[in-house]
Structure 1
Amino acid sequence: MIKRLILLCLGAAALPALFAQTLVPVTGVVQDPKGAVFAGAQVTLQSHTGSASKSTTTDKSGAFHLDTAPGTYALRVEAAGFAPLTKIVTVRQEPLTLDITLTLAAVASEVTVSAEPGNVVEVDRSAQRVNSISLDELQERTRSTLAGLAQGEVGLAQQRTSPTIGSVLVRGLNDVGVYVDGVRWTQSTQRGGISTFFNLNEATAAETVEVLRGPSGAQYGSDSLAGTLNISSRSPLLGADRFRTSGELSTQYATEDHSYGSNLLLNAGSPRFGATLDLAGRRTNRLRPGGGFDTHAAVTRFLGLPSTIFGERLPDTGFTQYAGLVNLSFLPHPDHQIGFRYQRGQQDGGKRYDQLLGGDGNLIADLRNLMLDFGYLRYQKQRLPWFDHGVFTVSYNSQREERVNQGGQGSPLAPITRDRERTTTWGFNFALHKHLAHHSLLFGADIYHDRVTAPSFAFDPVTRTDTAVRPRVPHGAQYLLYGFFAQDAWEVIPQRFRLVGALRHNVASYRARAADAPVVGGSPLFPDDSLRVGDLSGRAGAVVTLAGGVNASFNYSRGFRAPNITALGSVGLVGVGYQVSASAVRGRNAQIGTAADATAISTGLAVSPLQSEYTHGYDAALSLRRGRLQASFGGFAMDYRNTLARQALILPAGAVGTRLGSDVIIQQDPSGVVYVAASTAPVLVQVNFGSSRVHGFESEVKFAFSNAWSMAANYTYVYAADPSGAPPNTEGGTMPPQTLNLKLRFAPSKRYWLEAYSTLTGRQDRFSSLALSDRRTGAARSRSQIQNFFRRGATVRGLVGPGPDGAFGSVDDILLATGETLSQVQNRVLGAANSAPLYTHLPGYGVVGLRGGVQLAEKHSLTADFENIGDKNYRNPQWGVPGPGRALALRYAVSF
Structure 2
Amino acid sequence: MHLRPFVLMACCALTGAPLVPAHAQEQLEPSAAEPSTPPADAPVSEPSSTEASADAPAGQAPSALVPRETPPGNPVSAPTSAPGGTVEPESGEEPVIPSTVVTATRRPRPTSSQPRAMSVVTREDLAKRPARTTPEALLESEGVFLQKTNHGGGAPILRGLYGQHVLLLVDGVRLNNGTVRSGPNQYLNTVDPFLVEQLEVVRGPGSVLYGSDALGGVINVRTFWPRFASETTPIGAVRAQAGSADQSLQGHLRAGVSLQDTAVAGALTLRDFNDLRGGERVGVQRYTGYQEGDAALKVRQRLRPGLQLYLQYQGVRQSDAPRLDRSAPGDFRRFSDQERDFAHARLEHTGSGFLRRGAVELSMHRQSEQVDRFRVARDRMDRDSVNVWTVGLRAEAETPALSALPGAPVPIFGAEVFHDKATSNAGRSPLSEPALDFSPVPEDARYPGAPTQVSAGVFGLLASDAERPFSYHAGLRAQVHRVSLPVDARLTEAFPDASDPLPVLPATTQNSVGLAGELGVRQRVADGVSVLLNLGSGFRAPNIDDYLRLGADGPGYLVPGRDLHPEQSYTAELGTRVDRGPVGAQLFYAFTVVDGLVGNVPTLLDGQQFTPDGVPYRTRQNLDRADIHSLEASVSVKVLPSLTLATHATYTHTKSRRQDLTVEGTPFIREPLSRTPPLNGLVRATWEPGEVFFVEGLSRWALSQDAYSAADLLDIRTCAETPECAQTPGFVVFHARAGARLGKRLSAALTLQNLFDATYRTHGSGVDEPGRSAVISLEASL
TM range (shorter): 0.7 to 0.9
Matching of residue 767 in structure 1 with residue 708 in structure 2:
yes
Aligned residue for 2:126, secondary structure, equals helix
Deviation at 1:630, TM superposition (A): 0.7
Alignment of 1:323-472 (within 5 A): 323-357=294-328, 363-383=331-351, 386-406=354-374, 412-413=377-378, 416-436=381-401, 437=403, 438-459=408-429, 466-470=439-443, 471-472=445-446
Paired with 1:701 and 1:461, the residues of 2 have a C-alpha distance of 56
Query: What amino acid is aligned across from residue 469 of structure 1 in structure 2?
Result: P
Residue 462 of structure 2 is matched in structure 1 by: 488
Alignment of 1:540-619 (within 5 A): 540-583=519-562, 609-619=563-573
Aligned residues: CA RMSD? 3.0
Deviation at 1:456, TM superposition (A): 1.5
Matching of residue 126 in structure 1 with residue 62 in structure 2:
no
In the alignment, which of 208, 214, 222 is matched to residue 232 of structure 1? 222
Residue 91 of structure 1 is matched in structure 2 by: 82
Deviation at 1:524, TM superposition (A): 10
Matching of residue 853 in structure 1 with residue 739 in structure 2:
yes
Kept in 1, the 8 Å contact 2:80–2:87? The answer is no
Kept in 1, the 8 Å contact 2:698–2:734? The answer is yes
Aligned residue for 1:455, secondary structure, equals strand
In the alignment, which of 766, 771, 774 is matched to residue 888 of structure 1? 774
Paired with 1:501 and 1:131, the residues of 2 have a C-alpha distance of 21
Q: 1:440-496 CA distances to partner (integer Å, 9 max, x unpaired)?
A: 1111101110011212223467999834223112231101011000110124x9521
Aligned residue for 1:705, secondary structure, equals strand
Deviation at 1:519, TM superposition (A): 9.8
Residue 688 of structure 1 is matched in structure 2 by: 622
Paired with 2:669 and 2:654, the residues of 1 have a C-alpha distance of 8
Paired with 2:504 and 2:273, the residues of 1 have a C-alpha distance of 39
Matching of residue 511 in structure 1 with residue 484 in structure 2:
yes
Q: Percent of aligned positions with the same letter in both sequences? A: 22
Kept in 1, the 8 Å contact 2:387–2:422? The answer is yes
Query: What amino acid is aligned across from residue 251 of structure 2 in structure 1?
Result: S
Query: What amino acid is aligned across from residue 753 of structure 1 in structure 2?
Result: F
Kept in 2, the 8 Å contact 1:290–1:883? The answer is yes
Kept in 2, the 8 Å contact 1:265–1:276? The answer is yes
In the alignment, which of 451, 462, 468 is matched to residue 477 of structure 1? 451
Q: 1:535-585 CA distances to partner (integer Å, 9 max, x unpaired)?
A: 1110111110111101000111111110001101111222333222214xx
Q: 1:836-884 CA distances to partner (integer Å, 9 max, x unpaired)?
A: 54x2101111000101112222111121110100111111222010111
Alignment of 1:706-725 (within 5 A): 706-722=640-656
In the alignment, which of 675, 680, 684 is matched to residue 743 of structure 1? 684
Q: 1:325-382 CA distances to partner (integer Å, 9 max, x unpaired)?
A: 111100021111001010000111111111013xxx7613121121100111110112
Aligned residue for 1:435, secondary structure, equals coil
Kept in 2, the 8 Å contact 1:552–1:622? The answer is yes
TM-score (norm: length of structure 1): 0.74
Paired with 1:55 and 1:846, the residues of 2 have a C-alpha distance of 39
Paired with 1:262 and 1:762, the residues of 2 have a C-alpha distance of 36
Query: What amino acid is aligned across from residue 445 of structure 1 in structure 2?
Result: A
In the alignment, which of 188, 191, 204 is matched to residue 198 of structure 1? 188
Kept in 2, the 8 Å contact 1:287–1:314? The answer is yes
Matching of residue 674 in structure 1 with residue 610 in structure 2:
yes
Q: 1:451 to 1:141 in 2, by over 3 A?
A: farther
Deviation at 1:520, TM superposition (A): 5.2
Paired with 2:174 and 2:87, the residues of 1 have a C-alpha distance of 35
Q: 1:318 to 1:82 in 2, by over 3 A?
A: closer
Paired with 1:771 and 1:124, the residues of 2 have a C-alpha distance of 38
Kept in 2, the 8 Å contact 1:647–1:729? The answer is no
Query: What amino acid is aligned across from residue 633 of structure 1 in structure 2?
Result: L
Paired with 1:735 and 1:268, the residues of 2 have a C-alpha distance of 47
Aligned residue for 1:772, secondary structure, equals helix
Paired with 1:871 and 1:368, the residues of 2 have a C-alpha distance of 31
Paired with 1:79 and 1:89, the residues of 2 have a C-alpha distance of 26
Kept in 1, the 8 Å contact 2:235–2:265? The answer is no
Deviation at 1:769, TM superposition (A): 0.9
Residue 58 of structure 1 is matched in structure 2 by: 50
Paired with 1:453 and 1:340, the residues of 2 have a C-alpha distance of 28
Residue 211 of structure 1 is matched in structure 2 by: 201
Deviates more, 1:704-713 or 1:763-772: 704-713
Q: State the structure with more CA Rg.
A: 1
Paired with 1:548 and 1:420, the residues of 2 have a C-alpha distance of 57
Deviation at 1:191, TM superposition (A): 1.8
Residue 663 of structure 2 is matched in structure 1 by: none
In the alignment, which of 289, 310, 327 is matched to residue 278 of structure 2? 289
Residue 8 of structure 2 is matched in structure 1 by: none
Alignment of 1:68-87 (within 5 A): 83=68, 85=70, 87=76
Residue 701 of structure 1 is matched in structure 2 by: 635
Kept in 2, the 8 Å contact 1:727–1:767? The answer is no
Matching of residue 639 in structure 1 with residue 617 in structure 2:
no
Kept in 2, the 8 Å contact 1:236–1:329? The answer is yes
Query: What amino acid is aligned across from residue 323 of structure 2 in structure 1?
Result: R
Matching of residue 148 in structure 1 with residue 84 in structure 2:
no
Matching of residue 278 in structure 1 with residue 267 in structure 2:
yes
Residue 765 of structure 2 is matched in structure 1 by: 879
Kept in 1, the 8 Å contact 2:44–2:98? The answer is no
Deviates more, 1:499-508 or 1:134-143: 134-143
> How many residues were matched structurally?
705
Kept in 2, the 8 Å contact 1:855–1:861? The answer is yes
Aligned residue for 2:603, secondary structure, equals strand
Paired with 1:172 and 1:757, the residues of 2 have a C-alpha distance of 25
Q: 1:708-763 CA distances to partner (integer Å, 9 max, x unpaired)?
A: 11111111111111259987464xx1311111201101111221111001111111
TM-score (norm: length of structure 2): 0.84
Q: 1:202-224 CA distances to partner (integer Å, 9 max, x unpaired)?
A: 11111101011001111110011
Residue 28 of structure 1 is matched in structure 2 by: none
Kept in 2, the 8 Å contact 1:47–1:120? The answer is no
